[in-house]
């Protein structure tokens, strides 16, 4: 224990001038799986955005995968994003290209050049999410669960130490949610750290992990029964 991959200390999270969360103290160790829960508008996405450099940390201190969030410079953000895989509720796949094209786009944008290395990496991540036969499919030819698997594969391309998933099952039916959760559980078993925002209490009960809750401007850890 006690090898934090991310922490925030005495942090306040703002959206423009509005305080969303105050006095945030969290520390997540390498290899942990942590849920982030809380009502709509309670600040889950704002907290995650602060962690992946989309919102500036204006008050308090924090670090993530070796980057000091208080001193994060615009030009460092692409390097931070390479060490974090981010997964969104709405998948955010590019609809004008097939699955392989989506994955290749990210590899090229992050400096990969060698075609055979790129192809090998694409096969590797597709296999991890059980989608190795779907590389030629267009996103709109895939179900929601399949699209989310591709989004998870995309998040794995640069071997991130940490996956931040913002309601990854929010658009999926309960059965598909479980399938996607199984993929995340498998990835967690390979040693990756996962921080996942969710509203899905059935998933939390089925796959119990440490749970943090945003409520009334504050963030605190909850025990499973009260989640």
Ligand X SMILES: Nc1ncnc2c1ncn2[C@@H]1O[C@H](COP(=O)(O)OP(=O)(O)OP(=O)(O)O)[C@@H](O)[C@H]1O
Under the rule (CB under 6 A), what is the footprint of ligand X?
Answer: 15-16, 18, 20, 38, 40-46, 214
CA 176, CA 5: separation in Å to the nearest integer? 29
Q: What are the Cα distances from residue 133, in Å, to 26, 118, 137, 141, 184?
A: 40, 17, 9, 13, 19
Within 8 A by CB and 6+ apart from 163, the residues are 84, 85, 86, 87, 152, 155, 156, 184, 187, 192, 193, 194, 195, 196
State the minimum distance, in angstroms, from the CB of residue 180 to ligand X.
18
State the minimum distance, in angstroms, from the CB of residue 122 to ligand X.
30
Residue 101 or 144: the one with the smaller Cβ distance to ligand X is 144
Running DSSP on this structure, what letter comes out for residue 41? T
State the minimum distance, in angstroms, from the CB of residue 13 to ligand X.
8
State the minimum distance, in angstroms, from the CB of residue 127 to ligand X.
31
Within 8 A by CB and 6+ apart from 74, the residues are none
Residue 43 or 145: the one with the smaller Cβ distance to ligand X is 43
Residue 34 or 107: the one with the smaller Cβ distance to ligand X is 34
Residue 43 or 139: the one with the smaller Cβ distance to ligand X is 43
């Amino acid at each position: 224990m006690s090898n934090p991959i991310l922490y925030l200390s005495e942090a306040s999270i703002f959206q423009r001038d509005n305080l969303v969360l105050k006095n945030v103290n969290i520390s997540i160790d390498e290899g942990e799986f942590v849920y982030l829960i809380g009502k709509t508008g309670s600040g889950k996405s704002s907290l995650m955005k602060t962690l992946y450099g989309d919102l500036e940390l204006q008050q308090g201190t924090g670090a993530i995968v070796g980057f000091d969030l208080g001193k994060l410079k615009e030009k460092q953000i692409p390097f931070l994003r390479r060490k974090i895989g981010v997964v969104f509720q709405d998948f955010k796949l590019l609809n004008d290209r097939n699955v392989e094209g989506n994955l290749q786009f990210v590899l090229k944008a992050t400096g990969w050049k060698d075609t055979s290395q790129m192809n090998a990496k694409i096969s590797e991540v597709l296999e991890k999410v059980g989608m190795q036969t779907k590389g030629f499919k267009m996103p709109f030819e895939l179900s929601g669960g399949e699209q989310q698997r591709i989004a998870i594969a995309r998040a794995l391309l640069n071997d991130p130490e940490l996956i931040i998933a913002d309601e990854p099952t929010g658009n999926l039916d309960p059965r598909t949610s479980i399938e996607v959760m199984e993929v995340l559980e498998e990835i967690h078993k390979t040693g990756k750290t996962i921080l996942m925002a969710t509203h899905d209490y059935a998933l939390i009960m089925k796959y119990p992990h440490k749970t943090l809750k945003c409520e009334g401007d504050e963030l605190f850890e909850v025990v499973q029964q009260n989640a």
